[in-house]
C-alpha cells in the first residue's frame, strides 16, 4: 500500500479541526478514525495490482545515440478499474523516459503504454521491474505492486567512423581493379600480362611470354584476396583511460569539480587555480576501448569488402569475445553484438596469454591488428618480451589512441606551472616515441593517432599494407 499526499493533507486539516474543536481529544480520535476508514475504503476498492499482466514489445537492439521505443501492454483481468501510476524501472544510464506515467485500465481490458530509452552508454540494459500504484476511489491510499517483466535492450557501439568508409572503399577499388600493381609481394596474385611500356619495372618482364610473342610483355599483379585479418582488442586497464571528446556523452562522464581539483590547504597553487579558470575542466571523453572499437569496426568493414577474412578477439586476462568465420554480410552485426557488453577491466592485461590465444586461433599467417595503448611501462613488461613469437609468424600492426590532452599540455608554456606540465607531457610523448621506435625495429607496424583520427589512420595503414602486398 501507499499513502497519498491527500491523506497527509486531511491530517493537516485535522490539526485545525482539533485546535478549534470544543472537545479536542474526541475530535482527534474522530479525525483519525475518519482517516483510517477512508484509507481502508481506498485499499478495499482500489483495483487489484497483483493479477495485472504485462506484455512487452519494441526494440531490443539499438546503436548508442539512438533511442529505443518500448511498448508495455497492461492487461487488467481483475474486476475493478486500475487507475494510478506505472513505472518501468530501468538502470539510470538507460535514460528511461518518462520515469513514471499515469495508467488507467478498465477491468478486463488492455492498454498500451510507451517508454523511450535514450541509453548513455554501450552494453545490455535490463528492466528491473514494473511497479504499479492503483489509487482508491477517495484518493487517500493506493495499492502498490511490483512485477517482473523482463526485457533487455542491447546498446551497440555507434560506429561513428562509418563516415570514412566510402572514401576508403574508393581507395580499395582503385587498388584492386583499375590499377594493377607491378610489384610482386607476398599478398599479391598474378593478374594478367600486358605490353611493356616505358617506365615499367624491368624486373616484372615475363621472359617466357616475351619469347612467345614478338613483343616485351610484363606481368601485373593485384592484391590477393582471402587474406586473414585478426583484430585483437586489449580490454585491460590501459583501455579504461578516457581520451578525446565523447561524441555521445557517457553516463557519469561529467567530472565533479571538487573531485578533480582537490585543494590542498596551506599550499598556494596559483597555477592550478588559473588552469581551472582559463581552461574549464575537460570532460573525460570516451575510454580508449570505445575509440579502438570504432577503429576496429571500420577496419573490419573495409577488410570484409576487400575480400579478406576478419576475425575478432577481445582479451585482457581471458578471452572476452571471439568472432570467427563470419560471412561478409554477417561480420559487422556479429562484431557490434559481441562488442556491446565489453567494458575495460581494471586489471593488467596478460600479454603472454593474449599472444598464446592469438597463436592458437590463427594457424595461417595473418595480419594481427592489436588495438591497445602505446604505454611504455605496460608494453615493456607485457608485450615486448612475447612480441617475437607473434611477429615471426604473423604481420603485426599495433594501433594506439593518443591523448590530445597531453599534446595540448606540451604546447602550453605560459607560466612556470604550465611549463612543468609541459615537461611531463614531453616526457610522456618521448616515452611513446621510444616504444614506437622499438616496436618498428621488431618489424611491427605502428599506428598512433588521436581519438577521432585513429579509425581512418588504421584503415589507411591497412590499405597501404594491402597495396604493398604485405598482407
Site for another protein in 396-415 (CB under 8 A): 403, 405-406, 409-410, 413-415
User: Which of 56, 361, 365, 470 is in the footprint of another protein by CB under 8 A?
Assistant: 56
Looking at the Cβ atoms of 120 and 313, the one nearer to another protein is 120
Of 394, 395, 370, whose CA–CA distance to 383 is shortest? 370
Q: Minimum distance between the CB of residue 370 and another protein, rounded to whole angstroms?
A: 18
Nearer to another protein, 53 or 440 (CB): 53
What is the signed CA dihedral for 222, 223, 226, 231, rounded to 10 degrees? -170
How far is residue 126's CA from residue 119's CA, in Å, rounded to a whole number?
Answer: 11
Asked if 347 interacts with another protein (CB under 8 A), we say no
Using CA of residue 147, residue 150, residue 151, residue 157, what is the dihedral sign? positive
- 108: nearest Cα among 73, 72, 77: 77
Counting every residue written for the chain, the total comes to 471
292 three-state secondary structure: helix
- Which residue in the set 117, 336, 358, 467 belongs to the binding site for another protein (CB under 8 A)? 336
Q: Which of residues 310-329 bind another protein (CB under 8 A)?
A: 329
- Options 33, 44, 60, 325; binder of another protein; rule CB under 8 A: 60
Contact 319, 354 (CB under 8 A): no
Binding flag, residue 92, another protein (CB under 8 A):
yes
Dihedral of CA 90/93/94/99: which sign? positive
Task: State in angstroms the smallest separation of the CB of 306 from another protein.
Answer: 14
Instruction: State yes or no: residue 150 binds another protein (CB under 8 A).
Output: yes
- Asked if 241 is part of the footprint of another protein (rule: CB under 8 A), the reply reads yes
Residue with cell 618480451: 385
3-state secondary structure (DSSP) of residue 260: helix
80 upstream amide cis, omega within 30 of 0: no
Minimum distance from residue 246 beta carbon to another protein (Å) = 11
Interface region with another protein, contact rule CB under 8 A, candidates 103-111, 196-204, 246-254, 349-357: 246-254
Q: Contact between 158 and another protein (CB under 8 A)?
A: no
Q: Which stretch binds another protein (CB under 8 A): 92-100, 225-233, 386-394, 456-464?
A: 92-100
Q: What's the rounded Cα separation, in Å, for the pair 10 and 35?
A: 7
Q: How far is the CB of 232 from another protein (least distance, A)?
A: 20
By beta-carbon proximity to another protein, the closer residue of 195 and 426 is: 426
Taking the C-alpha atoms of residue 324 and residue 335, their distance in angstroms, rounded to an integer, is 10
Residues 372-401 touching another protein, rule: CB under 8 A, are 373
Pick out residues in 174-233 that bind another protein (CB under 8 A): none
Query: Closest distance between another protein and the C-beta of residue 451, in Å?
Result: 10
Q: Does 456 participate in binding another protein (rule CB under 8 A)?
A: no
Residue 253 makes contact with another protein by CB under 8 A: yes
Query: Phi, psi (5° rounding) for residue 394?
Result: -130, 165
Q: From CA 123, how far away is CA 343, in angstroms rounded?
A: 8
DSSP β-bridge partners for residue 63: 156
Amino acid at each position: 500500500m501507499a499513502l497519498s499526499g491527500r491523506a497527509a493533507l486531511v491530517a493537516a486539516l485535522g490539526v485545525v479541526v482539533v485546535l478549534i474543536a470544543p472537545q479536542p481529544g474526541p475530535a482527534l480520535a474522530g479525525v483519525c478514525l475518519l482517516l483510517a476508514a477512508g484509507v481502508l475504503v481506498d485499499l478495499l476498492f482500489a483495483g487489484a495490482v497483483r493479477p495485472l499482466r504485462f506484455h512487452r514489445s519494441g526494440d531490443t537492439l539499438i546503436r548508442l545515440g539512438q533511442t529505443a521505443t518500448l511498448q508495455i501492454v497492461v492487461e487488467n483481468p481483475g474486476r475493478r478499474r486500475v487507475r494510478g501510476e506505472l513505472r518501468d524501472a530501468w538502470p539510470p544510464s538507460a535514460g528511461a523516459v518518462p520515469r513514471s506515467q499515469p495508467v488507467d485500465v478498465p477491468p478486463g481490458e488492455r492498454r498500451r503504454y510507451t517508454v523511450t530509452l535514450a541509453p548513455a552508454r554501450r552494453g545490455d540494459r535490463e528492466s528491473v521491474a514494473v511497479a504499479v500504484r492503483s489509487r482508491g476511489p477517495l484518493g487517500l491510499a493506493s495499492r502498490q505492486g511490483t512485477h517482473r517483466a523482463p526485457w533487455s535492450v542491447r546498446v551497440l557501439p555507434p560506429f561513428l567512423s562509418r563516415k570514412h568508409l566510402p572514401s576508403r572503399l574508393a581507395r580499395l577499388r582503385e587498388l584492386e581493379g583499375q590499377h594493377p600493381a607491378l610489384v610482386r609481394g607476398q599478398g599479391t596474385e598474378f593478374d594478367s600480362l600486358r605490353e611493356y611500356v616505358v617506365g615499367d619495372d624491368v624486373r616484372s618482364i615475363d621472359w617466357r611470354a616475351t619469347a612467345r610473342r614478338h613483343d616485351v610483355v610484363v606481368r601485373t599483379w593485384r592484391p590477393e584476396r582471402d587474406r586473414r585479418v585478426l583484430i585483437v582488442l586489449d580490454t585491460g586497464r590501459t583501455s579504461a583511460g578516457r581520451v578525446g571528446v565523447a561524441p555521445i556523452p557517457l553516463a557519469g562522464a561529467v567530472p565533479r569539480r571538487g573531485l578533480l581539483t582537490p585543494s590542498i590547504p596551506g599550499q598556494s597553487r596559483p597555477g592550478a587555480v588559473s588552469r581551472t579558470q582559463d581552461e574549464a575542466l575537460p570532460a573525460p571523453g570516451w575510454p580508449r576501448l570505445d575509440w579502438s572499437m570504432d577503429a576496429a569496426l571500420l577496419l573490419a568493414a573495409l577488410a570484409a569488402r576487400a575480400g579478406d577474412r576478419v576475425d575478432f578477439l577481445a582479451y585482457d586476462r581471458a578471452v572476452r569475445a571471439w568472432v570467427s568465420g563470419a560471412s561478409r554480410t554477417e561480420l559487422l552485426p556479429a562484431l557490434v553484438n559481441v562488442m556491446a557488453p565489453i567494458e575495460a577491466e581494471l586489471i593488467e592485461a596478460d600479454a603472454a596469454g593474449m599472444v598464446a590465444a592469438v597463436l592458437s586461433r590463427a594457424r595461417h599467417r595473418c595480419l594481427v591488428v592489436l588495438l591497445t595503448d602505446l604505454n611504455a611501462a605496460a608494453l615493456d613488461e607485457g608485450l615486448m618480451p612475447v612480441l617475437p613469437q607473434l611477429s615471426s609468424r604473423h604481420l603485426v600492426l599495433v594501433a594506439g589512441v593518443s591523448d590530445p590532452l597531453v599534446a595540448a599540455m606540451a604546447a602550453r608554456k605560459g607560466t612556470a606551472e604550465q611549463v612543468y606540465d609541459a615537461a611531463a607531457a614531453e616526457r610522456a610523448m618521448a616515452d611513446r616515441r621510444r616504444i614506437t621506435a622499438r616496436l618498428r625495429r621488431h618489424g611491427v607496424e605502428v599506428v598512433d593517432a588521436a581519438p577521432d583520427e585513429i579509425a581512418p589512420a588504421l584503415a589507411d595503414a591497412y590499405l597501404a599494407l594491402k597495396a604493398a602486398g604485405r598482407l
